[in-house]
Structure 1
Amino acid sequence: MLSRIKHLRSIVVIFTAVVVGPQCFAAERESAEVLLARMAEASRSLNYSGTFTYEDGAGSVESLAITHKVQEGVEIERIAHLNGPPRVFSLPQKSSNCESVGSLLLKGDGAAFKPNPNYAYSVRGRNRVAGRIVDLLRVIPKDELRYGFTLGLDVETGLMLFAVVRSPKRILERVQFTSLNLQGGESSNAQLAKNTPCQELRVISRSPLAPTWVPDGFALAGYTYSEKTGHVETYTDGLVSFSVTVQTRLAESNEALQGEAQRGATVIKLALVAVENVPVQITIVGEIPPATANRILRLVRPSNKG
């Protein structure tokens, strides 16, 4: 019986490739700029849910579920792990229309979106992901300070359904949707937010320490502070991001850590430094090469903002 099923499956695959395949993928290609603008717009305005897999490049694979919606102009996103210990993460809620310079780089603003000039872009045809046709876009870094990508962008909505992150030597991580449910497309609030002109918001950081160097194209996207987490600055170049966390209480409590760890494309660098004889824990976390994180860490200096 099993061999019979395999035989029938082979016939279906061959028939689909010969009869359906060319027609499915035959269409005029969009430019890389248009594809990226649609991706940025879809990521903030669509209501959807789905499941996807995450592979870290070392053989570990996780299954996750995601729900994204816009309510009264505010984005809400929830991610739950489907294997291993139950874990649920709710990303911080944020306005879907007014963003900082860094957030606009990351999210885009429709027609005004421009690709980062520190990458080269190449549209590589089409494929299928989660039963949906996607445009394949190669994003190639022009320096060694960042990674390259292959993105699969849903033809209908622009949503990213597939992403591979590469170093010059190997694949670091892979994310791929296995199912997608569009929940009525855009909400009226999302459509209103998208069509409403946004006044640029300026992110003001009060961190006592800050990087004096970041790679070209990166901008400050956010700043938060709490006694528990310390000062957290977030930077993005529109495709990836990293954070710089400064903590004094952790360092003073002898709980500070030093060293480096990496999973997939995400690197973590921890260092304990003395600033005016006060121990300070500095942590760099982001989807950047370890050498880039090291350079950022070495060039963190007092900012005179505290």
Structure 2
Amino acid sequence: MRFIPLTALLLGGCLALPAAASDAQDWLRRLSDASQNQSYHGTFIYERNGSFSTHSIWHQVDKDKVVHDRLLQLDGPAHESFRVNGRTECVVGGLVDEVSDAQAWPARELNANELAKWYDIRVMGNSRVAGRSAVVLGLLPRDQHRYGIELHLDSETGVPLKSLLLNDKGQMLERFQFTQFDASQATNTEPVTPSADCQPVKVVAATPLDAKAWRTDWLPPGFSLSSTTQKVSSISEEPVACLLYDDGLARFSVFLEPLDGATAGDARTQLGPTVAVSRRLATSGGDVMVTVVGEIPLGTAERVALSVRQGEAQPQP
């Protein structure tokens, strides 16, 4: 099958006959399985806003299904991060988390039937990435509240060798792409470990958030509350509430921090696919800064920020 870019489909072109939906959902399941079971090593490039960086990654799943990731930046400042089951254990140079998040698909089962409500999931053709055969899977949003995704999945392992995140105009917001990929050492029993320079990350203790503290009066269709926590800010030492939402693939967070008389105004910014929208909210206990951060369209984040209110939050999942 000839490969047709997702950009053409997002712009309204019906240029390819997609494979059966069951085939697309099978590949989505293979992707989910690979994130939990497949070990590999490789080098990839990461692009956002016209800026490039090169990284090496070691992804190892041990016999107990514990996932270890070691990530090195190969150009510019020396950066390293080491994660266990998605939790950062140590860093060198403060490697930006979104770089690793760009290639780290959820280490959990993706619900193809649920995702199909919010994305048109299609097998779009074949490609070749890092010298390996790949199947191109498109996840086209059914509304304006999430981005389109084009995935090039390794034909042998199901690991994403390349991914593109695209807005509603088909413009690329982010690219992750392997230039070297090796899954031949998947059975290697030598554990992946960080370098001696990797400094442990200070863990800020989180406490349960009062379920009646906050709510959002509007959410994009398909998104639901997945967790609520409260941590003490390392800067202001004030308790900061965090509400995390997702649709099974995309996600965003709502942070609520007391201002205690501090001067702060509304703001909005976007870096590649990541947006941050802040607004000042008057409450009975004083002004609070509401900040929505995530890989969702700017207009969606603004609407969520405007809908935050004091009061009972959505039920815990």
Aligned to 2:66: 74
Distance 2:188 2:286 in 1: 50
Distance 1:286 1:82 in 2: 26
The one-letter code of the counterpart of 1:254 is: A
Rate the CA distance shift 1:252–1:106 in 2: closer, same or farther, 3 A: same
Establish whether residue 240 from structure 1 lines up as the match of residue 250 from structure 2.
yes
- Correspondence for 1:292 among 300, 306, 317: 300
- Correspondence for 2:275 among 267, 277, 296: 267
Contact 1:116 1:237 in 2 (8 A): no
The one-letter code of the counterpart of 1:67 is: W
Q: 1:31-110 counterparts in 2 under 5 A? A: 31-56=23-48, 58-71=49-62, 72-91=64-83, 93=85, 106-109=106-109
Distance apart, 1:153 and its partner CA: 0.8
Offset from partner CA, 1:24-62 (integer Å, 9 cap, x none): xxxx99711011111111112222232211111x32112
Q: Identity rate of aligned residues, in percent? A: 32
Contact 2:257 2:290 in 1 (8 A): yes
Contact 1:153 1:161 in 2 (8 A): yes
- Correspondence for 1:226 among 225, 231, 242: 231
Alignment TM-score, normalising by the size of structure 2:
0.69
What SS does the corresponding residue of 1:278 show, helix, strand or coil?
Answer: coil
Distance apart, 1:261 and its partner CA: 1.3
Largest Rg, 1 or 2 = 1
Distance apart, 1:288 and its partner CA: 0.6
Q: What 5-or-longer segments of structure 1 have no aligned partner?
A: 1-27, 96-104, 189-203
Distance 2:68 2:229 in 1: 19
What SS does the corresponding residue of 2:116 show, helix, strand or coil?
Answer: coil
Offset from partner CA, 1:112-142 (integer Å, 9 cap, x none): 6433311112211111111211100121111
Alignment TM-score, normalising by the size of structure 1:
0.72
Aligned to 2:222: 217
What SS does the corresponding residue of 1:36 show, helix, strand or coil?
Answer: helix
Rate the CA distance shift 1:223–1:181 in 2: closer, same or farther, 3 A: farther
Establish whether residue 178 from structure 1 lines up as the match of residue 166 from structure 2.
no
Rate the CA distance shift 1:94–1:184 in 2: closer, same or farther, 3 A: same
Distance apart, 1:263 and its partner CA: 1.3
Contact 1:46 1:187 in 2 (8 A): no
The one-letter code of the counterpart of 1:42 is: A
Q: 1:56-205 counterparts in 2 under 5 A? A: 56=48, 58-71=49-62, 72-91=64-83, 93=85, 106-109=106-109, 113-114=112-113, 115-169=115-169, 170-182=171-183, 184-185=185-186
Distance 1:187 1:41 in 2: 19
The one-letter code of the counterpart of 1:88 is: E
Contact 2:151 2:163 in 1 (8 A): yes
The CA RMSD over aligned residues, in Å, is 2.9
The one-letter code of the counterpart of 1:180 is: F
Contact 2:24 2:137 in 1 (8 A): yes
Contact 1:37 1:108 in 2 (8 A): no
- Correspondence for 1:282 among 269, 290, 294: 290
Rate the CA distance shift 1:260–1:187 in 2: closer, same or farther, 3 A: farther
Distance 2:86 2:165 in 1: 26
Contact 2:251 2:295 in 1 (8 A): yes
What SS does the corresponding residue of 1:185 show, helix, strand or coil?
Answer: coil
Aligned to 1:8: none
Rate the CA distance shift 1:133–1:184 in 2: closer, same or farther, 3 A: same
Rate the CA distance shift 1:144–1:245 in 2: closer, same or farther, 3 A: same
Count residues in correspondence.
250
Rate the CA distance shift 1:77–1:273 in 2: closer, same or farther, 3 A: farther
